[in-house]
């Protein structure tokens, strides 16, 4: 038996119930050929690459169940201000970036905390940073942008603009924009100043670039995707569910596959927006038929039911703290949402809905239930993304309806990079017990898939695992941590199942794709507080090494 790659002397966690642990894996022609013990090393031939793992943990390649690959890749060259607090620090960061980028049409910063200045940010604040060039900064959740006056003027937003429901150019008492732009359609014109509006369409409008990008733009976009893929490969990711996109996204990925430069399996949705007619779903079906390979797939529809808690656009069953009468609104009317879900489900397509507030979560479950009543309950694996707050009455409904909880260990405030202060601002103390439930949902039968939502948070899976394993219960709340093995499952086999990739990847067993990640340590023996710093030694996708730590192997 000629094999291409052997990883020996490893602590192999296979995620295969038939053989949970092993010591070595052999790969041939991009597939797992053998899973076994010390005897596997004897299969090495003259052209076999043999990696001695030295007792490190070998896992199925990580499945990133919710990210934004193209946006993340594009943002790698933008100003990163996560952790920057206060006006002087903000100004210094922007001035340094401006000096290094004299020709950029828009100076865009990422990771701006909502409380970065200790009070609501205005265009006047950003004019004091830089007034003679368009500048803007994006909140970590990617649902709010703040822009200076010049950026607003150039984008045609200074005097306001008509927006779809749920998207807002915030206006001041003087009749001009304050500088705060809520949701994608509101800040899209500002992002367009940077020349990347066509890359935002998948999340902003659900449309396609018109005109279709020319060869030079297409080539430049490919490099942004490649940068994002390389960043993910360095974190052990071999499969991902891209939570925005359109046919153009698929075309970019297919081109990279043809060029031999696609280093992860990617699923791309059709984005259904509230204004669209049901007939638009013909485009979703067409994407599903055209892109159904082992590396590039569509086959699902993404929708947004609400916004985010920080801007109080998440749709709640109860008023926000200190805001009588304010609960936000759903982006889809209930009956219309039910009809859309029923039609998507009838077409045999999976549904993924962003739902953060407990009212949004309930309405999403209702839509899936309506689809099941109309079409019969099938193995569709419809998903709810985020579920930051849920009413206890709705918890068992996920399991009973076969709904996947697609949740993000880095997201709960106080766990990783988001400040604990958010909890007091947006959740009543009595509801903390219902926030960011993972174990409770799993215990009630829901399938669980873990992710980062990069670039909303750091894409590092190991940091995510540490966050998942070290999370401290909120006051009055239960312990929502899963065990280490359950956590690893949610980042591998669980994510593969939730993304309909389980026929190809997610487990290390004979015949499956050789998608693997070798950690730079033994994760079972590690102190959970050190997992985030462990590092990745080797990433293998389809039998090909896509990342190797410097000096390793």
Max Cα distance, the chain (Å): 78
Nearest Cα neighbor of 246 from 294, 295, 280 is 280
pLDDT score recorded for residue 356 = 98
Question: Cβ of 44: how many Cβ atoms within 10 Å?
Answer: 16
Can you read off the two tokens belonging to residue 470? 């070290």
Rounded CA gap, 427 and 443, in Å? 23
Residue 425: what pLDDT? Answer: 86
Nearest Cα neighbor of 151 from 181, 111, 183 is 181
CA dihedral 526, 528, 533, 534 (to 10 degrees): 30
Q: For residues 206 and 99, what is the distance between their CA atoms, to the nearest angstrom? A: 35
Name the pTM for this structure: 0.95
pLDDT for the residue 1? 73
Q: In what order do the strands lie in the sheet with 31-36?
A: 31-36, 24-28, 5-8, 49-52
| Integer Cα distance of 365 and 305 in angstroms | 11
The tokens describing 235, both together, are 């974190």
Order of strands across the sheet that contains 168-171: 79-80, 107-110, 135-138, 144-147, 177-182, 168-171
CA 416, CA 460: separation in Å to the nearest integer?
A: 11
Structure token pair of residue 15:
């995620």
How far is residue 447's CA from residue 442's CA, in Å, rounded to a whole number?
Answer: 6
List, in order, residues 6 or more apart from 17 with CB less than 8 Å away. none
What string of pLDDT tens digits covers the 553 residues of the chain?
A: 789 999 999 999 999 999 999 999 999 999 999 999 999 999 999 999 999 999 999 999 999 999 999 999 999 999 999 999 999 999 999 999 999 999 999 999 999 999 999 999 999 999 999 999 999 999 999 999 999 999 999 999 999 999 999 999 999 999 999 999 999 999 999 999 998 889 999 998 999 999 999 999 999 999 999 999 999 999 999 999 999 999 999 999 999 999 999 999 999 999 999 999 999 999 999 999 999 999 999 999 999 999 999 999 999 999 999 999 999 999 999 999 999 999 999 999 999 999 999 999 999 999 999 999 999 988 999 999 999 999 999 999 999 999 999 999 999 999 999 999 889 889 999 999 999 999 999 999 999 999 999 999 999 999 999 999 999 999 999 999 999 999 999 999 999 999 999 999 999 999 999 999 999 999 999 999 999 999 999 999 999 999 999 988 6
Q: Is 328 strand, coil or helix?
A: coil
Main-chain phi, psi angles of 404, to 5 degrees: -85, 135
Q: What is the DSSP secondary-structure string of 336-373?
A: HHHHHHHHHHHTT-EEEEEE-SHHHHHHHHHHHHHHHH
Q: What is the DSSP string of 524-552?
A: TTS-GGGGGGS-EEEEEETTEEEEE-TT-
Residue 311 to residue 308: CA distance in whole angstroms: 6
Rounded-to-integer distance, Cα 311 and Cα 334, Å: 23
Q: Is 402 exposed, middle or buried (0-12, 13-18, 19+ CB in 10 A)?
A: middle
CA 477 – CA 349 distance, rounded (Å): 36
Task: Give the separation between CA 134 and CA 108, rounded to whole angstroms.
Answer: 9
- Could you tell me which residues come within 8 angstroms of residue 491 by beta carbon, excluding any fewer than 6 positions away? 62, 63, 450, 461, 464, 465
What is the C-alpha R_g of the chain?
23
Please give the Cα distance from 428 to 547 (Å, whole number).
44
Q: Is the dihedral of CA 222, 227, 232, 233 positive or negative?
A: positive
DSSP structural state of residue 323: B
* Count of residues making up the chain: 553
């Amino acid at each position: 038996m000629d094999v291409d790659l052997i990883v020996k002397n490893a602590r192999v966690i296979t995620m295969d119930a038939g053989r949970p642990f092993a010591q070595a894996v052999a790969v041939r022609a991009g597939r797992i050929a053998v899973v076994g013990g010390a005897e596997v090393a004897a299969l090495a031939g003259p052209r076999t690459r043999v990696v001695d793992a030295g007792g490190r943990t070998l896992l199925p390649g990580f499945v990133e169940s919710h990210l934004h690959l193209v946006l993340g890749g594009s943002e790698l060259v933008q100003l990163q201000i996560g952790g920057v607090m206060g006006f002087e620090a903000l100004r210094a960061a922007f001035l340094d970036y401006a000096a290094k980028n004299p020709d950029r049409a828009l100076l865009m910063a990422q990771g701006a905390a909502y409380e970065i200045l200790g009070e609501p940010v205005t265009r006047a604040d950003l004019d004091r940073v830089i007034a003679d060039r368009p500048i803007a900064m994006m909140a970590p959740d990617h649902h709010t942008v703040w822009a200076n006056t010049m950026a607003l003027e150039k984008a045609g937003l200074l005097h306001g603009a008509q927006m779809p429901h749920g998207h807002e150019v915030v206006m001041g008492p003087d009749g001009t924009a304050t500088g705060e732009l809520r949701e994608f359609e509101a800040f899209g014109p500002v992002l367009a100043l940077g020349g990347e509006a066509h890359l935002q369409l998948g999340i902003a409008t659900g449309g396609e670039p018109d005109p279709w990008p020319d060869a030079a733009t297409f080539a430049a976009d490919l490099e942004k995707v490649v940068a994002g893929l390389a960043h993910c490969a360095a974190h052990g990711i071999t499969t991902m569910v891209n939570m925005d996109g359109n046919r153009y996204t698929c075309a970019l990925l297919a081109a990279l596959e043809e060029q031999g430069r696609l280093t992860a399996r990617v699923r791309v949705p059709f984005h259904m927006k509230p204004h669209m007619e049901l007939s638009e779903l013909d485009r979703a079906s067409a994407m599903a038929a055209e892109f159904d390979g082992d590396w590039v797939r569509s086959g699902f529809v993404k929708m947004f039911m609400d916004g985010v808690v920080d801007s109080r656009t998440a749709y709640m069953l109860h008023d926000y703290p200190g805001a009588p009468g304010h609960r936000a609104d759903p982006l889809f009317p209930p009956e219309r949402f039910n009809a859309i879900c029923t039609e998507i489900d009838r077409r045999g397509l999976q549904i993924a809905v962003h739902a953060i507030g407990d009212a949004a979560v309930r309405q999403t479950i209702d839509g899936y239930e309506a689809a099941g009543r109309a079409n019969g309950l099938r193995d569709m694996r419809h998903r709810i993304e985020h579920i930051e707050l849920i009413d206890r009455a709705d918890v068992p409904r996920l399991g009973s309806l076969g709904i996947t909880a697609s949740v993000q260990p880095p997201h709960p405030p106080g766990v990783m990079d988001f400040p604990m202060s958010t909890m007091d601002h947006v959740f009543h103390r009595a509801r903390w017990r219902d926030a960011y439930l993972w174990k409770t949902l799993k215990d009630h039968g829901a399938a669980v898939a873990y992710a980062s939502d990069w670039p909303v948070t750091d894409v590092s899976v190991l940091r995510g695992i540490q966050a998942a394993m070290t999370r401290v219960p909120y006051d009055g709340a239960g312990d929502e941590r899963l065990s280490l093995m359950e956590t690893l499952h949610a980042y591998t086999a669980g994510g593969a199942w939730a993304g309909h990739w389980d026929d190809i990847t997610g487990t290390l067993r004979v015949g499956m794709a050789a998608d693997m990640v070798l950690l730079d340590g033994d994760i079972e023996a590690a102190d959970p507080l050190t997992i985030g710093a462990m590092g990745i030694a080797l990433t293998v996708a389809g039998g090909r090494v896509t990342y190797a730590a410097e000096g390793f192997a």
